[in-house]
Structure formats: C-alpha cells, structure tokens
A and B are shown apart, each in its own frame.
Chain A
C-alpha cells in the first residue's frame, strides 16, 4: 500500500465540472417534489384496473392488485403451491422470501421436465454460454473441465473401491 501513487485530477480540466452543482441539495431530505400527498392516504385517482387474465399473487402489505401488473410465468405446479404459501407472509418475513427462493429452484427442475415433455433436451452447455468461454477464456474453461473430470473420476473410483471391499467373502 505504501507504494501506491495517487494522482488527483485537476477539476478545472474536466468538461462540465460543476454545471449541476446544487448547494441546496440537502441529503437529509428525500429527492422528491414534496406535496404531502401521502398524508391523504390511498386517495389518488387510480388508473383503470388491468383485468387479471392470469393468476397474480399480491403482497399482503397492500389491499389490492396494482392497476397494471406483469403476466409473465404465472404460478404453476409445485413451485406455484410454494409461491402461494409464501404470499401469506409479509415482505418483512423470512416466511415470504425463503420459500420464494425454494420455489425458484423447484421451478428450475420443473423447467427441465417441461422441456423434456416437449421433446426438447436442453443444451445446458449452450445455455451457460460455453461457446463464449471457449472463444474468450479457453484456458480457464479447459482447466475447469479437466479438474471437474479428475474430481468426478476420483470420486467414482473411490466409491467403486468401497463397494467391492464391502462385498462378503465367498
């Protein structure tokens, strides 16, 4: 650390220096155009409500669906059951977030099954961008594959050895 040389920049040489300087920007006050509207509660003129064409879960910290919402990937299957259970808990609860993380992992397995049920075998290597690794990071990729293969081979050999040792003598 002692050898690190610091080379400060001369601000006068920086294009645009100070053009937005705002001495009144008080960081203890939120950046907003204060109108005290929140004192009136949930009182604004709401946009039209989007029809719920799919199942949409909503936080129990609000009374309703927002006027618009996304309709991507509605809850389904086992992951959907877990997600519905998670939404019984508030955003301040582990009971909300941890089941959602679990549901995400369950959803990955469901995704594999969905692919296979459609006759599609996912190309995991392509999905993980190994072509880019091969092009730009070949040495690291080869090393990782070699290490993985070595560890897998070693584990296989140990397991096989244990199995043969545990056979009763005839």
Chain B
C-alpha cells in the first residue's frame, strides 16, 4: 500500500509498505478515506519528539471504512464508515473507566506519561498512523465511531482531534460566564478553542499569533479579537492593559513546542533541542493570566525539561490544567454541535492534497504556504 514514510527531520516521502494485519483480537483494519496533517505532526516532522524512528508512518486524524475485524470485535462491522479518535484506548483500565481516554494504560509500552497515539513516535506507542491507504486500529470497539449518515466527511475527520482538542482546551479553562479568554495560537486547534470558549459563556475572546492570514480567519470564524504579537510590543503588557491591568481569567496555550517570539526559548527549544520545545506561549500564558487564573495547555511539548516561570505560577496562585483530549468522552456532544450547526469544523480545511504528494503537503503546512490552515490527505481510493 501507499504510505507516508518519515526519513528524518523535514524529510518525508510516499512509499510502498505492507498492508497492516490484525495483530490483536480486538483490532480492525481500516481503509483510509481522509487523513489530516496535524500541527502536532510538525513536532515529529521537525525531529523534536524523542524516539521518532525513520520508516514510521505518521497520521492520527483519520476517517475510513472498516475492511477487516479481529475475532474479539463485537460492535464494529466490515463496511462501517468510521472516524477514529487520535488516542488509542482500551476502555478497561482505571483511566479509561474514568473517561480519561487520552491516558489509557494499556496502549503504550514505551512510556507511562502518555497513552497510545496513532503514528506519533514510539514514545506514544510505536503505531503506524493513517497517512496511508490502510491503518491498523486497536481496540476497535472502543475508539472508532460510526459516522452519522448525514455528516460531511470533512466534518467527521475534524472530529478525530481538532474539534475535541480545541473544545477540551476551553473546557479545561473552567470558563465562567463573562470571563475573558486569551488563546495563544491561531492554528486549527487554537481557532477551535477560541470558537468553543464562547460555548462555555466567555465574555471576551482574544487570539494572539503572528500569522496575519490566520488571524484574519479566526477573527471572522470564532468570531473574536485577534492580534499579531509582532505588532504589540510586549504582548503581556498589552493583555494586561486591555484587561484593566488585571490579566485574563483564562489563557489557553494552543501552540506548544514550535512557538516563536522569544530568542532564548527559540534557541534552546527549537534550534538546540535542549528542552521539550520552545515554551514562549506558555511563558506568556502564565504571565498574562490574572492572579488565581487558569492556564489550559493543549499545545504539545516534548518529554524533557522545559523552562517556564514556575515561580509566577506559585506567586499568582494559578491553576494549570492540561491533557490530551479525551475524544471518546466528548464525541457525542460535539457531533450534536456539528449537526446543529453550532460548530462548522470543515471550514478550517483549506487544502485537499493527494496522499502521493505528502512531501509537499508537509512543506505547505509547515511553512504556512498558500494561506494553509488545515491540509487533508486523500488516498487514491477516496478520490475515485
């Protein structure tokens, strides 16, 4: 089959690989119909996530058709059209039982700090991902969800990660009616977090980024205020000033390891890889939230130490919340929001690119070429 093949930092290509097999009684094999490139894939692409092995196939935002199921699969049937949550969850461990599906303890041997994730290095379980024609899906009765008949497939693929991650970013903020919410990052997740902040009753939503076309998009889509930090001088002072010098009630970090804006963080986190990413957005979040406020982190960082102003967290009495989105927990509500027209996730998709052109797709998304917000890869069978 055709599959994306990681060859090293900034190098990916399309290759032929063997089709996945049933390796566990509760596995399914899914023929991929859509597979997005996620902003977090860029951390892998840039070589900043440890144990990302050349030869691996990325891709954790997948829809497809069930081609084969293992003998232990009871609910899913061959032919079902499914959306596949990015996290692999057993449904049985103590964490899954508490609906922490992003923290499953039975899907990742290599690390205890994170559950299994499709195509996301061996640190997240060593599973080949869905930027391919077929993908192996463990625990097929737990994560994969049959796509409602009337749902647009582009909406469905956005429900595998972008929508739940953006939604949970807002949810973890514990937003109370009238709160001012600041979102760092106008990528797909940041855009969705800004949109969802309103659903929790935010009184004001502000997005900070440096890419003008994305700021323009989120300004209209969320809708919200959106500012380019390059034009603000000191972004923290700007946010204090615009909140009566108090700071925001809730700040969301939807950037993670690839942040720019502070030389030291960029040097240590992105160039020298001496910390788990450039924590510029997190630094700004901690410093621009009010005393007693909440910082919600969904931006992805690597597992090694990262410099953040932890003293300010203590002195300001902050609550910091973060997690991989619990997609399965959130899906029923989010499907309803999409079907009711409250959320329109497919509007974020700007590029539909043949799987065979995966190298160019990564470049377009990574370098923010052609006003790209969200690229979707289409395997040959999905184009015919």
Say yes or no for B79: interface residue by CB 8 A criterion.
Answer: no
Contact with B along A34-57 (1 / 0, CB 8 A): 110110100111111011010011
Q: Which B residues lie within 8 Å of A132 (CB)?
A: 359-361, 363-364, 367, 369
The answer to the question of B57 belonging to the interface, with a C-beta cut-off of 8 Å to chain A, is yes
B148 interfacial contact with A, CB 8 Å: no
Instruction: Flag if A70 contacts B125 (CB, 8 Å).
Output: yes
Interface residue B25 (Cβ < 8 Å from any Cβ of A): yes
A160 at the B interface (CB under 8 A): no
Q: Which of B158-166, B167-175, B376-384 contacts A (4 or more CB under 8 A)?
A: B167-175
Majority secondary structure, A binding face = loop
Interface membership of A166, Cβ < 8 A: no
Contact B99 A33 (CB under 8 A): yes
Known: A16-B342, A65-B109, A129-B363. A27 touches B173 (CB 8 A): yes
Chain B: interface secondary structure? loop
Q: Is the CB of B92 within 8 A of A59?
A: no
Chain B 276-295 residues near chain A, CB threshold 8 A = 294
A66 in contact with B109 (CB, 8 Å): yes
Given A20-B333, A44-B97, the answer on whether A4 and B238 have CB atoms closer than 8 Å is yes
Task: Say yes or no: is B321 at the interface (Cβ < 8 Å to chain A).
Answer: yes
- Min CB gap B249→A, angstroms: 11
B110:A57 contact, CB within 8 angstroms: yes
Instruction: Give Cα A126–Cα B168 distance, bound, in whole angstroms.
Output: 37
Task: Check A83–B111 contact: CB distance below 8 A.
Answer: no
Q: Does B19 contact A (CB under 8 A)?
A: no
CB pair B232 A97 closer than 8 Å:
no
Question: What residues of chain B lie closer than 8 Å to A137, measured between beta carbons?
Answer: 367, 369
In chain B between 1 and 41, which residues have their CB closer than 8 angstroms to a CB of chain A?
7-13, 23-27
> How many inter-chain residue pairs (CB < 8 Å) link A and B?
270
The total of chain B residues at the interface (CB under 8 A) is 104
> Is B92 within 8 A of A62, CB to CB?
no
A17 in contact with B198 given A70-B116, A91-B111, A104-B52 (CB within 8 Å): yes
Q: Is the CB of A127 within 8 A of B12?
A: yes
Q: Which of B109, B225, B337, B363 contacts A58 (CB 8 A)?
A: B109
A62 to B105, CA, bound (A): 10
Give the A-binding residues of B (Cβ under 8 A): 7-13, 23-27, 47, 50-57, 72, 88, 90, 92-95, 97-100, 105-113, 116, 122-123, 125-128, 138-139, 168, 171-177, 196, 198-205, 222-225, 227, 231-234, 237-238, 241-242, 273, 294, 302-304, 319, 321, 323, 326, 333, 337, 341-343, 359-364, 366-367, 369-370
Residues in A lying within 8 Å of B, measured CB to CB: 1, 4, 6-9, 11, 14-23, 25-28, 30-35, 37-38, 40, 43-48, 50-51, 53, 56-59, 61-62, 65-73, 79, 83, 87, 91, 94, 97-98, 100-101, 103-105, 107-108, 110-111, 122-124, 126-133, 136-137
